[in-house]
Amino acid sequence: MARQRKKKGRPVSGWMVLDKPLGMGSTEAVSKIKWLYGADKAGHAGTLDPLASGMLPIALGEATKTVPYVQDGAKVYRFTVSWGEERSTDDLEGEVTRSSPERPDEQAIRALLPKYTGVIMQIPPQFSAIKIAGERAYDLAREGEAVDIPAREVEIGRFDLVEMRGADATVFEIECGKGTYVRSLARDMGRDLGCYGHISELRRTEVDPFTADELVTMAEIEEAIATAQPAATEEDEAPQAPRPGPDQWKALDALLMDTGAALDCLPQVVVNDDTAARLRLGNPVIVRGRDAPAQVDEACAFARGRLVAIGAIEAGMFKPKRVFSL
């Protein structure tokens, strides 16, 4: 019997800057958005645990080619550390492994913040996606194995104390680089302060270059679908919510950021339609214009406001490394 060919998704491209709700995993969120949009490809730029909420940039279609540029961007987190207990997962999900009646005062906490600002060495949590001898640390930890995870370098550009919630909890905000584990900060600060600590609330508010103003909630997505649904008839007393189709995709597509929005970190050049066609075929082109750079390792080209290619500029010649379809 002939093998049935897998049905391809539609060629939709762009960034969904999702406000991920509590309780939803990052993989689940990507699958949900991919299904709603009927997209051929999807991926995300930076995992958020189910117990964390906030910004999860999801790339659809051609935008998946720009994921590394968002993953490398600075991130802002607002989080609450509850003092007095250290937990196996360094957040509310785990079992209590250490406890203390001691509680830190504001002065002691503020005095500690410079130690965790700048380039620091950090040991990721036992329950993390770090690979140890080819296996995920959280899989080994769940099997009861002691996981020896080496410390690694991370960068925290800003570490602010936002609010003291009595003696038992403190709210912080940080701006940090790729690979920083907020749960590790709670664990390590608690140990330094002699009281132990764990994350009880965590929200990611920004992932560069996206801002909080660009967040889209699941409620807004559902509203866009409902607004575009055909009106129910009297026979449809309890209609099932069908998978979105062409009537709803137009409303959903309006919620996407353009693929090129991920590349604010790169120099940009504007090209005409003929030059764009040559770039999309992988051909180098001469970069014209008074402000065009003559030599950069990485730049992006746009035509009519749409991303055409990412490449290097050498001696005034744009050499495409990655091209984008219309």
Residue-wise pLDDT tens digits, 221-252: 999 998 876 655 455 554 555 678 888 899 99
Minimal CA–CA distance to 322: which of 237, 243, 262?
Answer: 262
- The neighbouring-strand residues paired with 203 are 53, 78
154 and 190 share a domain? yes
CB 186 within 8 A of CB 98: no
For the record, the structure tokens of 275 come out as 């030059």
Residues 216 and 194 both lie in one domain: no
- Tell me the mean pLDDT in the region 268-282: 94
Domain that holds residue 192: 75-207
pLDDT at 247 (0 to 100): 85
Helix, strand counts (H, E) of the chain: 8, 17
pLDDT of residue 238: 47
CA 246, 251, 255, 256 torsion: positive or negative?
A: positive
pLDDT-derived band of residue 1, with 50, 70 and 90 as boundaries? very low
- Asked whether residue 122 falls in the same domain as residue 192, the answer is yes
Name the residue among 23, 27, 21 with its Cα closest to residue 46.
27
Would you state the pLDDT for residue 261? 95
Element holding 107 (H helix, E strand):
helix 106-112
Share of the chain above pLDDT 90, in %: 71
Dist. CA 10–CA 147, nearest whole Å? 43
- C-beta of residue 229 within 8 angstroms of C-beta of residue 243: no
What pairs with residue 307 in β-bridges? Answer: 302
124 in any annotated domain? yes
53 and 105, same structural domain?
no
Q: DSSP secondary-structure letter at 256?
A: P
Same domain, 301 and 179: no
Q: How many domains does the chain have?
A: 3
Tell me which residues are annotated as active site.
Answer: 49
Q: Are both 67 and 166 inside the same structural domain? A: no
Q: Domain containing 124 — which CATH number? A: 3.30.2350.10
DSSP category for residue 232 = P
Question: How much is the pLDDT for 244?
Answer: 83
Question: Do both 132 and 157 map to the same domain?
Answer: yes
Q: What is the pLDDT of residues 87-133, one digit of tens each?
A: 999 999 889 999 999 999 999 999 999 999 999 999 888 755 555 55
109 and 142 co-located in one domain:
yes
Q: Element (H or E) spanning 89, and its range? A: none
Q: What percent of the chain has pLDDT over 70?
A: 86
- Comparing 29-43, 170-184, 226-240, the range with the smallest average pLDDT is 226-240
Name the least confident of 49-53, 98-102, 147-151, 184-188. 147-151
Does 49 fall in a domain?
yes
Average pLDDT in the chain: 89
Element (H, E) at 224: helix 218-228
Angle between helices 26-37 and 246-253 (to 10 degrees): 120
For 9, 34, 47, 76, 120, the CA distances from 17, given in Å and listed in that order, are 20, 13, 13, 14, 29
CATH code for position 293 = 2.30.130.10
Cα 304 to Cα 180: distance, rounded to the nearest angstrom: 37
- For the stretch 44-93, pLDDT in tens is 998 898 899 999 999 999 999 999 999 999 999 999 999 999 999 999 98
Nearest-5° Cα angle at 130, 127 to 136: 70
pLDDT exceeds cutoff 60 at 141: no
Token pair recorded at residue 211: 């801002």
